Chain A
Amino acid sequence: MTPRILSSCCLIIAALLVPRQALAQGARLQLDHLNRLAEKATETVDVSADTAMLKQAAGFLAGKGSDTEKMQQLLGGITGIYVKSFEFDAPNMYSESDVEAIRKQVSGSGWSRVVSVREKGELTEIYFWRDRDTTGGLVVISAETNELTVVNIVGRVDLASLGALGPMIPKMPGALGKGTPK
């Protein structure tokens, strides 16, 4: 095989692989640019739970009561949960560009904004990423004067189930109060 044919084969294989990779990464956002805010924040929550971690968590929660069953069902369709939350003791500690960088990522194809609430300088937006006919991900942006929170869930998410989970969580093993410094 000549080097020219070999390089052509490599290019074809790479071209075939790239879209699949891009599809898998579809609902996953790049939130690393927010990491620098941790220095200014009084409280930071940075959770990065991939498939392996979710499986481990689901295994730990198995058989620990009826409340955890609903959470396990919810986790069944999720392949990743990424949360970045920063609480500041003064306003304007993050810039508009920090939020814009996230909004720019969810303006691409596949994403659709389902909720946008802007009041008293606060912005809350929910975006869904659709993979064919099923939801393949979710992003919640909450930008308040003293707080910035971004939740990125990759996989099949049921918004109603997720919202209803709230009151059950404090009873679950390993439940924590929000704002655990990391």
Chain B
Amino acid sequence: MNLEQELRRALKRKDPPRGFHDKVLSRIAAGETVPTPATIRRWPRVALPVAASLMLAFGGTYYMHWQQERQAREQLAQSEHAAREVVLALQIASEMISSTQAKIEEITRHDATNTQ
């Protein structure tokens, strides 16, 4: 019973003090704002640098990894190009030597037939 009475008393509708409405309106018109609590004010000061540092760290790591991969790809492409060029050069040289050998053999055979 006692608790009920206390609750009723506490939750009893109370009219605002006289002039409260006008005061609120005049403060709004004056552009007055309610000061933010200190913990909320400090939050962006800590969070922004932390986020920026994290972004920089992740970004930097990703960029370095990407650079290394790009360099490796470029090196592989260069090596492949070099191998292609060298194989082509050796192919031409080998073909020329083989055809010269064939020509010599043909001439030798022809000469041997003529002497017989």
Could you tell me which A residues sit within 8 Å of B by CB distance?
45, 47, 49, 53-54, 56-57, 59-61, 71, 74-75, 81-83, 85, 115, 117, 119, 124, 126, 140, 142, 149, 151, 153, 159, 162-166, 169, 172-176, 178, 180
A96 to B79 CA separation, bound complex (whole angstroms): 37
Kindly state whether residue B83 has any CB partner on chain A within 8 Å: yes
Please tell me the size bucket of the interface on B.
20 to 34
Asked whether, in the complex, the Cβ of B103 is within 8 Å of the Cβ of A119, the reply is yes
If the complex has contacts A59-B79, A176-B84, are A83 and B89 also in contact, measured as CB distance less than 8 A? yes
Residues of B with C-beta under 8 A to A47: 85-86, 88-89, 92
Interface string of B97-109 (1 = CB under 8 A from A): 1111101100100
If the complex has contacts A117-B107, A124-B100, A126-B100, are A169 and B82 also in contact, measured as CB distance less than 8 A? no
Asked whether, in the complex, the Cβ of B79 is within 8 Å of the Cβ of A163, the reply is no
Residues of A with C-beta under 8 A to B78: 56
Nearest B residue (CB) for A75: B86
17 A/B residue pairs, CB under 8 Å, sorted by A: A47-B86, A49-B85, A49-B86, A57-B85, A60-B76, A60-B80, A71-B90, A74-B90, A115-B104, A126-B97, A140-B93, A151-B93, A153-B93, A166-B95, A174-B87, A175-B88, A178-B88
Smallest distance from the beta carbon of A168 to chain B beta carbons, Å? Answer: 9
Kindly state whether residue B94 has any CB partner on chain A within 8 Å: yes
If the complex has contacts A56-B82, A124-B100, are A175 and B107 also in contact, measured as CB distance less than 8 A? no
Kindly state whether residue B91 has any CB partner on chain A within 8 Å: yes
Q: Of B83, B96, B103, which is within 8 A of A174 by CB? A: B83
Residues of B with C-beta under 8 A to A82: 89
Asked whether, in the complex, the Cβ of A159 is within 8 Å of the Cβ of B97, the reply is yes
Asked whether, in the complex, the Cβ of B91 is within 8 Å of the Cβ of A57, the reply is no
Asked whether, in the complex, the Cβ of A162 is within 8 Å of the Cβ of B93, the reply is yes
Question: Which 6 residue pairs spanning A and B have beta carbons closest together?
Answer: A60-B79, A57-B86, A174-B84, A166-B94, A56-B82, A60-B83
Smallest distance from the beta carbon of A39 to chain B beta carbons, Å? Answer: 21
Residues of A with C-beta under 8 A to B107: 117, 119
Q: Of A53, A124, A176, which is within 8 A of B82 by CB? A: A53
Residues of B with C-beta under 8 A to A124: 96, 99-100, 103
Asked whether, in the complex, the Cβ of B95 is within 8 Å of the Cβ of A178, the reply is yes
If the complex has contacts A162-B97, A166-B98, are A61 and B92 also in contact, measured as CB distance less than 8 A? no
